[in-house]
Amino acid sequence: AALSLAAITAASTLVTGTASAADDPIVIKFSHVVAENTPKGLMAQKFQELVAERMGDRVIVEVYPNSQLFGDDKVLEAMQLGDVQLAAPALSKFGRYTKKLALFDLPFLFEDLDAVDRFQQSEAGQGLMSSMEKKGLIGLGYLHSGLKQFSSNEPLRVPEDAAGLKFRIMSSEVLEAQFEALDATPLKKPFSEVFTLLQTKAIDGQESPWSNTYTKKFYEVQPYITESNHGLLDYLVVTSSYFWNGLPDDLRAELKAALDEAVAYGNQVAREKELEDRQKIVESGRTEIITLSPEERAQWVQAMKPVWKQFEDEIGAELIDAAYASNR
């Protein structure tokens, strides 16, 4: 039988020595996969600064961007083992721990980030953050990246244009179903490999918010971007319950306050980047941005909406209704 999680974490603590002498500062490793100049990258830096300012003698935050330390396929296990203390993987990447967060991947669920905010701040949205506590993971806050766009080697105007093409997806069953609904082929691949897969034409396309498409230069190797806003890329800032609950109460409260401030800042950045990074891509002249007419958009909705029914039992119809109602 498997060792209990507590035993594993306790053992790894002994080995890595994170349970250090009382006067050594606590080290928080924050691992993420995106560039520094993104909502998540800048949120992590802000958290690092706030902690240094306010409790620098007691806590040191080390930020590891660009998949330097862990990719998202490994980071949650590493967290359970005590090798990393903070991460903010996409909500799409928690499928092994909870089915509920798949809600956020449903295509065309949220019209804009205001609707996302309303739902995330609601009781139902806040409740989801604690859906993995039994697995040793605690959600500390939601962070936006933004609404996703399709990019491709082919112009995508109507759903039929995607048929037969290969798209990189995050490891999410909903995203898999979404591309299958288009008769396209979804391939689960780490974020760190997307640029090369596109550049070598091993895949035809991908879906990302403007900030990732810009900072990882996907637009330089993709002749078309369809401004589809068809789905959401958002994050859950997450820590291990073993680490978090083991902190002194006063320090935990101070860290949470600093994190809340950093997340609010990151969410502001996300809104700015949606416009700024889109504009930089336009100005680069490297790719054609396709905007959809209302009729074309309706066809995408019609093609992808059946995915909701497919996952209704796992996610819960009430939860889906509550999220959809946040569009007002």
Please give the residue ranges that form the binding site for ligand LMR (CB under 6 A): 33-34, 90, 145, 170, 191, 208, 212, 233
In the bound complex, what is the minimum distance in angstroms from residue 160's beta carbon to ligand LMR? 25
Identity of the residue, 115 or 237, whose beta carbon is nearer to ligand LMR in the bound complex: 237
Q: Which is nearer to ligand LMR, 26 or 232 (CB)?
A: 232
**Nearest CB to ligand LMR, comparing residues 59 and 169:** 169
Nearer to ligand LMR among residue 81 and residue 175 (C-beta): 175
To ligand LMR, the closest distance from the beta carbon of 165 in angstroms equals 17
Whichever of 175 and 307 has its CB closer to ligand LMR, that residue is: 175
| Contact of 33 with 192, CB cutoff 8 Å | yes
**Minimum CB separation from ligand LMR for residue 92, in Å?**
7
How far are the Cα atoms of 103, 286, 291 from residue 282, in angstroms, in the given order? 31, 8, 12
Q: Which is nearer to ligand LMR, 254 or 274 (CB)?
A: 274
Q: Is 16 helix (H, G, I), strand (E, B) or coil?
A: helix
- Least separation in angstroms between residue 174's CB and ligand LMR is 14
Given a contact cutoff of 8 angstroms between Cβ atoms, the answer to whether 209 and 131 are in contact is no
Q: Which residues pair with 240 in a beta bridge?
A: 137
| Separation between Cα atoms, residue 219 and residue 122, nearest integer Å | 36
Give the residue with the Cβ less far from ligand LMR, 30 or 242: 30
- CA-angle at 296, arms to 293 and 298, nearest 5°: 110
Q: What is the largest CA-CA distance in the chain?
A: 64
Q: Provide, rounded to whole angstroms, the least separation between the CB of residue 170 and ligand LMR.
A: 5
Between 212 and 287, whose beta carbon lies closer to ligand LMR? 212
Tell me how far, at minimum, the Cβ of 159 lies from ligand LMR, in Å: 22
CB of 124 to ligand LMR, least distance (A): 23
Helix ranges (H only) for the chain are 5-16, 39-55, 75-80, 113-121, 123-128, 173-181, 194-199, 210-215, 241-245, 249-284, 294-304, 306-315, 317-325
Asked if 172 and 91 count as a contact pair (C-beta separation under 8 A), the reply is: no
CB atoms within 10 A of CB 148: 22
**String of DSSP letters for 30-86:** EE-SS-SSSHHHHHHHHHHHHHHHHHTTTEEEEEE-TTSS--TTTHHHHHHTTS-SE
Q: How far is the CB of 222 from ligand LMR (least distance, A)?
A: 14
